[in-house]
Amino acid sequence: MEQSNSKEERKGPGVATPKGGSRARLRDFSRSLPMSLLKAREAVMRHFRPHLQAYGITEQQWRVLRALMSVESIEVMALAEATFLLPPSLSRILKDLEERGLIHRRTSEQDMRRGIISISGEGRRVIEMAGSHSEAVYAEITRRYGAQKLADLQKMLRELEAVLAEPIEVGALPKPAERKAPSD
């Protein structure tokens, strides 16, 4: 006789519901798309991190420097959007990169409130040096996974991004539960 101490009971392949009969049916955590994407990202980044660390660069700093390599200069908010970094985080990253001489910062001539960022010569040098290691990692990933499969994966990810560009309407969101005042 098996006894389960789990708080979940299985209801078909990959679907779990909390014990006690709740109607919410969630797919199994192992089949969660966001988690699968995070796990795949981690599997990839695990191979890039040691090379970045050897150059004293974090993943986020690398993202910023790589984005700056593709433009002459860019406004801070546009850089935040391009790198998927929140403005407060980007602000700290830019401060560090500027102190290290890897970027240049100036204000916009049209609007003094807007910051303009560009990569410095030293920043380009770091990218070029770290980039050779990055390309070696890409080559190994391509060898292991296959060039065509990697190209197909990147194409599918771009398609998924495009399909999900518009909000998904799934009905009215439930109203937040009214909070009860704590009783004394």
Q: Is residue 176 part of a domain?
A: no
pLDDT tens across the length of the chain (184 residues): 444 444 444 444 555 555 555 566 888 888 899 999 999 999 999 999 999 999 999 999 999 999 999 999 999 999 999 999 999 999 999 999 999 999 999 987 887 778 899 999 999 999 999 999 999 999 999 999 999 999 999 999 999 999 999 988 887 767 776 545 555 5
Whether the CB-CB separation of 122 and 102 falls below 8 Å is answered with: yes
Provide the residue range defining the domain that includes 37.
Answer: 31-161
Q: Is residue 134 part of a domain?
A: yes
Q: Is residue 175 part of a domain?
A: no
- Output the CA–CA distances (angstroms, integers) from residue 10 to 20, 27, 32, 148, in the order listed: 12, 10, 16, 37
Q: At what angle do helices 147-163 and 121-145 cross, to 10 degrees?
A: 110
Whether the CB-CB separation of 115 and 107 falls below 8 Å is answered with: yes
Q: What is the residue-averaged pLDDT of the chain? A: 86
Q: Is residue 16 part of a domain?
A: no
- Output the CA–CA distances (angstroms, integers) from residue 107 to 73, 87, 123, in the order listed: 11, 16, 19
In the chain, the number of structural domains is 1
Q: Is residue 14 part of a domain?
A: no
- pTM for the full predicted model: 0.74
Q: How many CB atoms are located within 10 Å of the residue 123 CB?
A: 22
CA distance 16 to 59: 35
Q: Is residue 41 part of a domain?
A: yes
pLDDT in tens, 61-86: 999 999 999 999 999 999 999 999 99
Phi, psi of 75 (to 5 degrees): -70, 150
Q: Is residue 92 part of a domain?
A: yes
CATH of the domain at 47: 1.10.10.10
